[in-house]
Structure 1
Amino acid sequence: MAIVMIVSGAHVLMRLVAFIADQQILSVRNRNPDSSDLSALSTGAHRAAVLGATRWGINFIVIAVATTSVFLRLNLPSSALVFLGSVAGAGLGFGAQQMVGDIIAGLYIISERQFGVGDIVRLGPFGIVGWAEGRVEEVTLRVTKIRTFDGDLISVANGQLRQNVNMSRDWSRVLVMVPLPRESDIEKEIIRIDRVCAEMARDPKFSNMLIEIPSVQGVDSLGDADVEVRVAGRSLPVQQWKVERELRRRIAAELRSTYASIKVSGEVTA
C-alpha cells in the first residue's frame, strides 16, 4: 500500500508541476508579437526557458526520490541493493557523459539568455542536414524543441548546439532590393521610393512595427539592364516579414505607372 501511495504521489506531483509550467510557458508563446516592449519580450522568453528547465529538474528529483523510497520499502537485502545499483550504474554510464554535456550546455543557454521560448532561431549545423530554423517551443536543461515554418517539431540535445542564431532578439533588419532600368532617372526614383517608405511609416497599422523608418541606402549593384537600389530599415522582432511584404507591394504599385513590370526582392537579417 505504501509503495502504491509513493508512486501515485510522485505521479500527481509531476503532473502538477507540468501543468503549472505549461500554463506559464503557454502565456509566453501567446504573447503579442506587435508589442513594442522589447525588454518584456526578452524577459518573457527567458522566463519560459527557466520554467522548462525547472520542470525538468523537479521531475528528475521526484523520480529519484520515489525510486529510492520504493526500494527502501521493499526491505531488500543490502547485497541486492548493491547489485541493482551496479547494474543501473553500468547502464547509465554509457549515456551519462552525453547527458551531463547536454545539461551543462542547457545551463549555459539559459543563464546567458541565448534564446528562449517564442524566439525565432537558426540552430546547427547538423551534418548533412544543415541548419534548423523555426520558433522555440520548449527549452529544458537537456533538450531544445523548435517548430519549423513547415510545422515540423524538431528536438535537439543542447550538447549538439554548436552554434545558434537568434533572429528575434531586440530588432530585425528589413531589407528590400529594387531594380530600376539603367536609363531611368535614378535620383527621381529614389525620391519616389523614399516617399513610399515615409507614407508607410505614417500608417497606424505599420508605424508601431517600425523602429527605424526604411529608406533608400543607395545604389547596391549595376547590371547589364538595371540598377539595383537598397532599401533598409529596422523593425520589431518577428515583424520584418510583414513589413517587407507591405513595402514591396507599395513600391511596386508606385513604380507600376512608370514601368510595365518590376521585380522587387527582399532579404531579412536579424
Structure 2
Amino acid sequence: MNLLAETTTEEAFSLVDRVGEWLLSNGITILVIILVALIVRFVVGALINRVFTTMYQSGSRISRMTNVVVKKNPDAGMAAANEERRKQRADTLATASKNVASVIIWSIAFVMILSQVGVNIAPIIASLGVAGLAAGIGAQTLIKDVLAGVIMLFEDLVAVGDYVDLQFAEGTVENVNLRVTQVRGLNGVLWTVRNGEVITLGNYSRGLGTAFVELDIDSAANDEKVTEAIHAVFDALKSDQKWMKLIVGLPEASGILAVDGARYQRRITADTIPGKQWDVEREIRKRLRVEFNKRGIEFALPRFQESA
C-alpha cells in the first residue's frame, strides 16, 4: 500500500506509456509472428495436399494407361481397389507430413516470440546440440518408433482402412502416424501399437485376397454330383455382377483332398480384390448350402470324441 501511495501520477503514466509502447512494438510483432505462422501452416498444408493429390492422380492415370496398353489386370473391381489404395496412401502421407510441418513451424514461431518477450535465445540455440544429444540418448525408443513410422509410410506397408495383423493386434487400421499405429479389432477394441515394435506385419489389403472354403462332405455322397453342384455355384456367381466385381478371375475347385470313414474333403479358392475375401467366402458357403440341399448332397456330420 505504501508503494502505491508513493507512486506519483507521472510515474503511473510513464508505466502506462511504456506498456503501450511495448504493445505497439513487441506486442504487434508477436501478433504478426502468430499470424504469419498460421498463414505459413495453411500454405504448407495446401502445398502438401496438392503434392500428394497430384501423386495420387498421376498414379491413377499411369495405371489406367498401363491397363489399356498392356491389358494387364483388366478386372474392374481390382482396378478400383488399386485406385482406392493409392488414395489411402496419399491421404496418410499428407497427414503425417502436415503434422511434421506444424511442429517445425510452431517451434520456430515459439522461439521468435521468446525473443520478443525479452528472453535471450542465444543460449537456447547454443544448447540445442547438447539437448539434442541428451534427448537422443534418453528417447531412443521414441526415435526408433518415428524412424519405423517413416519407413512404414513411405514404403506403403500400411494405410488407413487396411486390415492388418501386427502380431500384437489384428484389425482395421484407423490411424497411422510417425509414432504409433491404431488398429480396431473385430470385437471393437482399439489397439495402439508402437511402430518400433512392429517386427512382422501381415496386410490382408495388399495385392489379391484369397477366399478359402473347405468342404467336409459325407463319404456316401456322389462326387460327380458334388462337382456339378460346385460348378453350378460358380456359374451363378459369374452371372451375378455384384460378386464378379469382387472376384478376380474364376473360382477353382480342388479334387478330393482327404478321405476317412465318414467324410472326404474338397477345397474351393477364389482370388478377390483386397479385403473382400471374407465376403466372398460367406457367399460361396451360402450358395453351396442351398445347392447341396437342392441336389440331396449331405455334409459330413461333426466328429465327436468318444469317452474312455
TM bracket, shorter-chain basis: 0.7 to 0.9
Aligned to 1:101: 144
Alignment correspondent of 2:187: 150
Match of 2:5 in 1: none
Question: In structure 1, what is the Cα distance between the partners aligned to 2:35 and 2:182?
Answer: 29
- State the 1:251 CA deviation: 0.4
What residue in structure 2 maps to residue 44 of structure 1? 87
Larger relative contact order (CA 8 Å, sep ≥ 6)? 1
Aligned to 1:62, the other structure's residue is in SS state: helix
Equivalent-residue separation in structure 1 for 2:160 and 2:301 (angstroms): 36
**Gaps in structure 1 of 5+ consecutive residues:** 29-33, 125-130, 265-270
Q: Does the C-alpha gap of structure 1 residues 112 and 82 become closer, same or farther in structure 2, counting only changes over 3 Å?
A: closer
Q: Would the aligned equivalents of 2:161 and 2:172 in 1 still touch at CA under 8 Å?
A: yes
The structure having more radius of gyration, on CA atoms, is 2
Counterpart among 234, 239, 247 of residue 284 in structure 2 = 247
Q: Aligned partners of 1:112 and 1:79: how far apart in 2?
A: 39
Distance in 2, matches of 1:47 and 1:78, equals 38
Q: Which residue of 1 aligns with 2:231?
A: 194
Aligned positions, number: 248
Q: How far off is 1:111 after superposition?
A: 2.3
1:1-270 alignment to 2 at 5 Å? 1=27, 2-3=29-30, 6-7=33-34, 10=37, 17=45, 35-37=77-79, 38-77=81-120, 81=124, 92-93=135-136, 95-124=138-167, 131-257=168-294, 258-259=296-297
**Aligned 8 A contact 1:52 1:138 in 2:** no
Compare the two structures and name the one with the higher helix fraction: 2
* Structure 2: stretches of 5+ with no match in the other structure: 1-26, 57-75, 303-308
Shift of 1:208: 1.0
Q: Deviations over 1:113-149 (max 9, x none)?
A: 212222211112xxxxxx3112222322222222222
Aligned equivalents of 2:156, 2:280: Cα separation in 1? 27
Normalised by the size of structure 1, how large is the TM-score? 0.77
Q: Could you say what the CA RMSD is over the residues aligned between the two structures, in angstroms? A: 3.3
Contact (CA 8 Å) 2:219, 2:300: kept in 1 or not?
no
- Whether the aligned pair in 2 keeps the contact of 1:145 and 1:155 (CA below 8 Å) is yes
**Greater strand fraction, Structure 1 or Structure 2:** 1
Q: What is the aligned-residue identity percentage?
A: 26
